[in-house]
Amino acid sequence: MDLFERIRTSEEPVSKLARQMHGYFTYPKLDGPLGPRMKFRGREVLNWNISDYLGFASNEEIRLSDEESVHKYGLSYPVGNRMMSGHTSLHEKLESLLAEFTGKQDAFVLNFGYQGFLSVIDTLCSRNDVIVYDAEVHASLVDGIRLHMGKHFVFQHNDMDNLEKQLVKALASANETLGGVLVVTHGVFGTGGEYAKLDKIVKLKKKYDFRLLVNDADGFGIEGDSGEGTGEHFGVNKDIDIYMGSFSKAFAAIGGFVAGPEVIMNYLRYHTRSQIHSKALPAIYVDAVIKRLDFLQKHPKLIKDLHKKADHFRKRLRKNDFNTGNSNACIIPIYLPCSIYEALNLVIDLRENYNIFCPILVYPFARKDELLLRFLPTVKHTKEDIDYTIDALIAVRVNLKAGKYATDKSDFFGEADLPKD
C-alpha cells in the first residue's frame, strides 16, 4: 500500500475526524491571561485544562520576576548547545538546587521534557540491557524504549504480580547478555491521575537486581510535603535511582531534568544526543525555574491547598456516582460509558451551555476502549468553581442517560457542523 494512502484510510478516530474536530476538540485556542478563566471562541470559560498546578502563570510576583529575566537575558541567551557554547552559571546553579531539592547527588537540566526523557532512556541502556516498563507510561518513555536496541518487557498497569513475572524473564535475559535491568514507571500517571505503587516496586528491589527510573512530570513540585515528588509522598526517594521531572506542569515553564548519582549524570551530559546536539534551555527559563523553586520552598502551603481542592473535587464526584477510576493524585478523570459521538456532543453541551472547558481524551491519549474527561485542578480554582462544575456534570449526565446526545455517526458533522465562533 502507498504510504500516504495508508494514512488517508486510517481507522483511528482522531485521524478520521481531524478536519472536523480541528479548532474545537483538537487544537482549540484559549485566549487571555493564563488562569482558571480564559476566552474560548470569544466567550469566557471555566478552564480545567491548564498545566499550572501551583498558579505560577498568574502569580503577580512570579510574573514580575519573569519580566525581569526577559529584560536581563533576552530570548536568545545562551546561543548553542551546552557542550560547545551554551553552558552558563545559571544552568549549573539550577542543577545544584534540583539535586539538593530531590535528595540526589547531581542533576542534569534537559532542554525539553519529552525530548530529554526519551533520550535519557536511550542513553542509559545498551543493547545488552533489558527494560521493564508499565503499560501506561508516557509517550516520551515509550519512544525512548522504542529506540532501545535490546529486549524489553511490559507489565500490566500498576500490577505488581505481573511486574514480578516480567522481572523474572528480564533478569534471565539480562544474565544471558551480561546486561542490567531498568524498570521504568511514573510517579503520577497523567491520564488516570493515579500514583504508581512506588513503595511496592521498591520492595521488589530487595528481591531482584534492577535499577528504577521514575518519570515524575506530574508529581514534581506538588507531591510530598515539600514538593520533592511522589517518592517523598511514599517515603522512598532514596530508592529511586533515576528521577525525572518536568518544568511544564507545576512550574508552568519549559524544560525538564534528570537526577541521580553524580557519575551517571556526568555520563548523560556527554552522551545524551538530544542535549549535546541542540540549543541549551534559554536562560530566561532556567532563571524562571530557580525563582519558582525558591518561591515554592517559601510557600509550601500551596501544595496543601492544591491537594485540598483536588480531594474535594474527587470526593464530590464519587459521592454523585461518577466513575473517577483509581485517581488519587491531582489529576481527575471521569470515565464515560458512551460512544465517542455521544461524548463529543456532551462536551459541546458543557462548553456552549455551561461555559466549562475540559478535554475529552481518546486513544492515543487513553486506552482504545476508554473515553474520559480530564480535569486538572489548580490552586487558583475555587470551591465555587468545583461545585458549579459538579452541578453541570450532573445535568449533562441526565441528558446522556436520556439519549439526548445520541446521533448517527455519519451525521455527526453534517450541515449543522460544530457551533460557530
Q: Taking 70 as the threshold, does the pLDDT of residue 17 lie above it?
A: no
pLDDT band at residue 408, thresholds of 50, 70 and 90? low
Instruction: Give domain limits for the chain.
Output: 3-53+301-411, 61-298
* Residue 375 dihedral angles phi and psi, to the nearest 5°: -115, 135
Q: Which residues contact 112 (CB under 8 A, 6 or more apart)?
A: 254, 255, 256, 281
Mean pLDDT score, 278-289: 95
Return the closest-CA partner of residue 247 out of 43, 52, 55: 52
pLDDT tens, 306-331? 999 999 999 999 999 999 999 999 99
Higher pLDDT, 209 or 19: 209
Mean pLDDT score, 272-284: 93
CA distance 110 to 202: 26
C-alpha cell at 319: 459521592
Helix (H) / strand (E) element for 330: namely none
Q: Is the peptide bond before 364 cis (omega within 30 degrees of 0)?
A: yes
Return the closest-CA partner of residue 222 out of 192, 254, 245, 205: 245
> Tell me, what's the pLDDT at 415?
38
> Tell me, what's the pLDDT at 13?
57
CA distance 167 to 177: 15
Q: Which residues contact 267 (CB under 8 A, 6 or more apart)?
A: 123
Contact 56, 251 (CB under 8 A): yes
pLDDT tens, 203-247? 999 999 999 999 999 999 999 999 999 999 999 999 999 999 999
Amino acid type, 200: K
Domain 3-53+301-411 has what CATH class? Answer: alpha beta
Q: Which residues contact 408 (CB under 8 A, 6 or more apart)?
A: none
Mean pLDDT score, 197-202: 98
Q: How many other CB atoms are there within 10 angstroms of residue 74's CB atom?
A: 11
CA distance 251 to 246: 8
Considering the chain, what is the average pLDDT of its residues? 92
pLDDT band at residue 5, thresholds of 50, 70 and 90? confident
Q: Is 227 left (phi over 0), alpha (psi -120 to 50) or beta?
A: left
> Tell me, what's the pLDDT at 414?
42
The two beta strands, 256-260 and 332-335, are: unpaired
- Do 3-53+301-411 and 61-298 have matching folds? no
Q: Taking 70 as the threshold, does the pLDDT of residue 394 lie above it?
A: yes
Q: Taking 90 as the threshold, does the pLDDT of residue 12 lie above it?
A: no
pLDDT tens, 325-383? 999 999 999 999 888 888 889 999 999 999 999 988 877 667 777 789 999 999 999 99
pLDDT band at residue 416, thresholds of 50, 70 and 90? very low
Q: Which fold does the domain 61-298 belong to in CATH?
A: Aspartate Aminotransferase; domain 2 (3.40.640)
Strands, E, within 30-113: which ranges? 30-31, 37-40, 43-47, 106-110
CA distance 421 to 419: 7
Strand partners for 130:
181
Strand partners for 134:
155
C-alpha cell at 164: 514480578
> Tell me, what's the pLDDT at 325?
94
Q: Is 74 left (phi over 0), alpha (psi -120 to 50) or beta?
A: left
> Tell me, what's the pLDDT at 113?
87
> Tell me, what's the pLDDT at 4?
86
